[in-house]
Structure 1
Amino acid sequence: MLRLTLSSLRRILMGVCLGVLVVLLLMPNTFLRFLRVQYRWIGVPMNWVEAHSASINLAHLIAFLVVGFAARLAMPGRSRATLAIIVAVAIVSEIAQFWVPGRTPRMSDVGVDVAGTLAGAACAGLLLWLSRAWLRGEAQPGK
């Protein structure tokens, strides 16, 4: 019988997030345009993100923030190794875009990806710290 624990659910979430991220990063632009047109729930938020992020690639930042958050929650004791793997994914995905039609690899995207990963991991670390403090009774009001 398969028994799912909270730890295994966190790891599944991290794997799904990482898998979706890799697929999106290596998808040709023509297919991304198709998804935006066919599925309004994808197109509207993506258009908003792109309209409000002229100087940085906000879509990359958000995507890697989610993956960094999920990775930190999934592997709380192995955060350095997990973050190193995500940084490697950021670098490899940019290099792989040389061979994806309509995509342009940029080193600036790697920097944004790393920043998003670290921000997501920091947010998850703060959440984990606050939850542990609350369980110990240190974060209760009036104390």
Structure 2
Amino acid sequence: MAEQDIPPPTITAMKIPIIRKGEYDIWSMRMRQYICHIDHNLWDVIVNGDLEEEPAPTGETSAPPAPKTAKQLAARRNQERVKSILLLAIPDEYLLKFHNVADTKSLWEAIKSRFGGNEESKKMQKNVLKH
């Protein structure tokens, strides 16, 4: 009888917001909402960077060492999820420029620098709109 009182879970579908030139501020708010809706821990990956510090690779290989603990596996999985979500939000013509970025925190900063503009360009846009 108690099972009948609980409503079935609802599935909500959200569309990944695609970034456009000059719309970084709105996109970043929508993207944060989207990522937090999926899993709040994913937003922490963007804010804090790598959750688990991996030791520097030794030898001739440049690939990072394979994770050994469950916490390292979860951290790497979260990094890959967030990076793929951010890459899906970038238009195709800019995708090649961001594909080789190593971690999600630096990817977010690269997107911000590419699409957000700097303070001087924002001031110039405001002045143009005033006139």
TM range (shorter): under 0.3
Q: Report the structure number with the largest CA radius of gyration.
A: 2
Using the size of structure 1 for normalisation, the TM-score is 0.26
From the two aligned structures, give the one with the greater helix fraction. 1
